[in-house]
Structure 1
Amino acid sequence: MGIRWRLAAPTTALLTALLMAWLAGCAAAGGTAAQPAPARPAPQVPYAVGVRTFTVDPTSERPLPVTVWYPAQGSRVADGRFPVVLYSHGLSSLPELHSGLTARWAAAGFVVAAPTYPHTRRGAARFSRADVRHQPADGWRVIRHLVRLDGRSGDPLAGHLDVQRVAAAGNSAGGFTTAGMFTAGHPKLLRAGIVIAGGGMAGSLAGPAPMLFVHGTADSVVPVSVGRAAYRRTLGPVAFLGLLGQGHGDYLIPGRPGFAQVLGATTDFLRWTLYGDREAARRLPTRALLPTVTTFETRPAA
């Protein structure tokens, strides 16, 4: 049974106790909480943000233009290594349309890489919903490219990517893409996932990595029942952030109701799972909850 937080509610002490029970379950399942601490603590102040683009496999049948947001210092990448978040867009969308979220993650100390998928992007010459099933493999191609890029002398990102600490996140079809990357036996460098307004794919959500689902309860494109079904069958430790009465994604737009809660919860989830920041895990429920706007619940590993 999940641990559910709503508006009316338990004391802060009880919330903390329940969340610590969830974290203990994560550690017992071999999730991120049990893994070695990263080489550096989570940043305490926001960075400036830089943006670059490149194309993975430009001469292949599935070239992948990639937009990267990164912590910046002046005109260069900030000092140090930063965990990586692969972000997948939805149908008829583009990476830059998600910059309200991705740029803020970069400011919090993550390198965010967002591929433009060839047959589901806005303006695709041969648009195909069915091509979503190929996108988890595309996501892995981008991750492998980033691993090579980190060791490529002369590249601005070389030496700045913590490629052993990677999360995948995505919205709508990108949420299904994200779930599809978490099959049994997936590489351990993929530490956590965030599925926004999406659900599971065949064979997905089978590993021990922590997952966070974000979904509007009045979503008419991907019904919340789809997201909750994926939440229930996730094998690793999992949390669900519900946006009350909201549809398919207005809560991803800065300034809209629920955006601050989505940003706060996802950022703290990434800080916990990729930086090992236990304080971020402890405050996650209070960042996620707003009376009449959100609900939040967790469940330890199955």
Structure 2
Amino acid sequence: MAMNRRTFLGLGAAGAVAAVHAYGTTAATASSLAPADAPTQRFAIGVREYAWSRGSRRLTTRIFYPATGTPGGNPVVNAPIADGVFPICEFSHGLGGNPESYAPLVRPLAEAGFVVPAPVFPTTSSGTQGNVQDVYNGNQSMDVSQVITNTLALNTTAGDPFAGHLDTTTGVGVAGHSLGGMTTHGLLTAWPDSRIAAAVPFACVDMGNPSSTVAAKVLFVHGDQDTLTQYSSARQAYGELPAPKAFLTHRGTGHDQYIWSGYNHTQTVATYVDWMRWSLYADTAARDRLPADATSNTSTTTWEAVLTSLPTGPIVSLRSRASNQYVCAENAGADPLIANRTAVGDWERFDLIDLGGGAVALRARVNGRYVCAENAGANALIANRTAVGPWETFQRVNNSDGTTSLRAQANNLYVSAGNAGTAPLIANRTTIGPSESFDLING
């Protein structure tokens, strides 16, 4: 894996440690079983510790889980497991952290009905010297795979309290912050685990090319002023992955403020938990809540998502009624689109992708990139984006004369072949005329 894909994380850079919460009292174990379903209630939290290992690497793992009792208290050691069958969602701590220091991200999952194994990594947890190479050489990603294997095995381990309580059919979730986020992304790329169905890397960097053996729904969460794990690297990782995927940006913030109570913590947790509910419980109501979860504070967050795999066609060319010339991804997509070509070649062909509900995206055949209403429609359209978000989404309008107009979702204005086609296309018109009307020609 080329090192220039990643930002190296030095000792002390990642994994801010919050106050450790006491476990509380010990309780006896007991349980009865119920079918797996998306819970509607909040659970109390139990915790059990397992002394596992992978070869010579000690993997002390604390498993947090839905428990009987009154919600809202500290985790109770060996508390009775709540009735039900629950999905598994592993969590990886950052440098100098441990499962307790990441309580703001671990506890909400257990309260929502997930079994959360959280390993204490042997070289990057609190009290260690912090060997960050164990992330770059894949040790921590392979540690997580071992923890997943061991946790799944508990479902059929006679006498273990988790026996019969673990969902082993829908895949598992993984999440982590900073070095833990990189560990998580490594499981999708360089050290893939095909059992993963959902992933949330917080503040990660790009750990490599996506693996074709992993089909996971992936949510990235990052601060755009992060100086420890570069935002641009996470954006690259996002662009490389296929849908379903999403990106929650905390604007104007750094490496971890949005995780702890306070700054945008509510948006982080609501989005993260609903992502896992959708991915592992097939909870479509949770999926539909995601945009509101992420943008309840719209002044400081940005939500981008492609929640369905995109079809590939049909291939079309767009001929402007104003100039009778074809729209071109000028300079192989490096320059703004302009309706100035008399014939159709590679630069004039686009995949017209149906996003549902009348929404479409255009992907230039010449470079495989999506047309963007740049700067929320204030700048000319350009085919330069690797993923579909609001700026790459257009509402298709079928006009009575057989032409098509495109209204940008970013600003609700129509795309116009400016100055009768002599100027670049821009989404800046409130009404439809010849400059906003295009013949869509297949092939």
TM-score of Structure 1 vs Structure 2, range by shorter chain: 0.7 to 0.9
- Alpha-carbon separation, structure 1, partners of 2:256 and 2:211: 22
Contact 1:84 1:111 in 2 (8 A): yes
Partner of 2:133: 130
- Alpha-carbon separation, structure 2, partners of 1:184 and 1:282: 32
Partner of 2:234: 227
CA 1:185/1:63 → structure 2, altered by over 3 Å: closer, same or farther?
closer
Work out which of the residue numbers 235, 239, 242 in structure 1 matches 2:246: 239
CA 1:204/1:67 → structure 2, altered by over 3 Å: closer, same or farther?
farther
Contact 2:189 2:210 in 1 (8 A): yes
Contact 1:241 1:295 in 2 (8 A): yes
Say which SS state the counterpart of residue 251 (structure 1) adopts. coil
Say which SS state the counterpart of residue 101 (structure 2) adopts. helix
- Alpha-carbon separation, structure 2, partners of 1:243 and 1:204: 24
Q: Deviations over 1:86-120 (max 9, x none)?
A: 11111121111111121111000001111111111
Contact 2:95 2:130 in 1 (8 A): no
Contact 1:216 1:248 in 2 (8 A): yes
Q: How high is the TM-score relative to the length of structure 1?
A: 0.82
Contact 2:93 2:176 in 1 (8 A): yes
- 2:298 is aligned with what amino acid? P
CA 1:147/1:119 → structure 2, altered by over 3 Å: closer, same or farther?
same
CA 1:241/1:205 → structure 2, altered by over 3 Å: closer, same or farther?
farther
Partner of 1:35: none
What are the equivalent positions in structure 2 for 1:172-183 lying under 5 Å apart? Answer: 172-183=178-189
- Alpha-carbon separation, structure 1, partners of 2:209 and 2:239: 14
Contact 1:208 1:301 in 2 (8 A): no
CA 1:205/1:236 → structure 2, altered by over 3 Å: closer, same or farther?
farther
Contact 1:252 1:259 in 2 (8 A): yes
- 1:208 is aligned with what amino acid? A
User: Following TM superposition, by how much is the alpha carbon of 1:163 offset from its aligned partner in structure 2, in angstroms?
Assistant: 2.5
Partner of 2:145: 140
Say which SS state the counterpart of residue 295 (structure 1) adopts. strand
Say which SS state the counterpart of residue 175 (structure 2) adopts. strand
Partner of 1:73: 68
- Alpha-carbon separation, structure 2, partners of 1:98 and 1:188: 26
- Alpha-carbon separation, structure 2, partners of 1:205 and 1:215: 22
Greater helix percent: which structure? 1
Q: Root-mean-square deviation (CA), in Å?
A: 1.8
Matched, 1:49 2:45: yes
- 1:67 is aligned with what amino acid? R
Partner of 2:106: 102
CA 1:120/1:204 → structure 2, altered by over 3 Å: closer, same or farther?
farther
- 2:228 is aligned with what amino acid? V
User: Following TM superposition, by how much is the alpha carbon of 1:141 offset from its aligned partner in structure 2, in angstroms?
Assistant: 0.2
Q: How high is the TM-score relative to the length of structure 2?
A: 0.56
Partner of 2:167: 162
Contact 2:189 2:207 in 1 (8 A): no
Say which SS state the counterpart of residue 151 (structure 2) adopts. helix
| Bigger RCO (CA 8 Å, 6+ sep) | 1
Contact 1:205 1:233 in 2 (8 A): no
- Alpha-carbon separation, structure 2, partners of 1:218 and 1:131: 26
CA 1:163/1:184 → structure 2, altered by over 3 Å: closer, same or farther?
farther
Partner of 2:358: none
- 1:178 is aligned with what amino acid? T
Using the aligned pairs only, state the percent identity: 38
Contact 1:180 1:203 in 2 (8 A): no
User: Following TM superposition, by how much is the alpha carbon of 1:69 offset from its aligned partner in structure 2, in angstroms?
Assistant: 0.9
Partner of 1:210: 217
User: Following TM superposition, by how much is the alpha carbon of 1:188 offset from its aligned partner in structure 2, in angstroms?
Assistant: 4.5
Which has the greater radius of gyration? Answer: 2
User: Following TM superposition, by how much is the alpha carbon of 1:57 offset from its aligned partner in structure 2, in angstroms?
Assistant: 2.1
Q: Deviations over 1:131-179 (max 9, x none)?
A: 1121111000001101211111111111111133310101011111111
Work out which of the residue numbers 57, 66, 71 in structure 2 matches 1:62: 57
- Alpha-carbon separation, structure 2, partners of 1:90 and 1:235: 26
- Alpha-carbon separation, structure 2, partners of 1:69 and 1:47: 11
Give unpaired runs (5+ residues) of structure 2: 1-34, 70-78, 311-443
CA 1:187/1:202 → structure 2, altered by over 3 Å: closer, same or farther?
closer
Give unpaired runs (5+ residues) of structure 1: 1-38
User: Following TM superposition, by how much is the alpha carbon of 1:47 offset from its aligned partner in structure 2, in angstroms?
Assistant: 0.6
User: Following TM superposition, by how much is the alpha carbon of 1:236 offset from its aligned partner in structure 2, in angstroms?
Assistant: 3.5
- Alpha-carbon separation, structure 1, partners of 2:179 and 2:211: 15
Say which SS state the counterpart of residue 226 (structure 2) adopts. coil
CA 1:135/1:70 → structure 2, altered by over 3 Å: closer, same or farther?
same
Say which SS state the counterpart of residue 258 (structure 2) adopts. helix
Say which SS state the counterpart of residue 291 (structure 1) adopts. coil
Contact 1:83 1:110 in 2 (8 A): yes
User: Following TM superposition, by how much is the alpha carbon of 1:127 offset from its aligned partner in structure 2, in angstroms?
Assistant: 2.8
User: Following TM superposition, by how much is the alpha carbon of 1:45 offset from its aligned partner in structure 2, in angstroms?
Assistant: 1.0
Partner of 1:189: 195
- Alpha-carbon separation, structure 2, partners of 1:187 and 1:89: 19
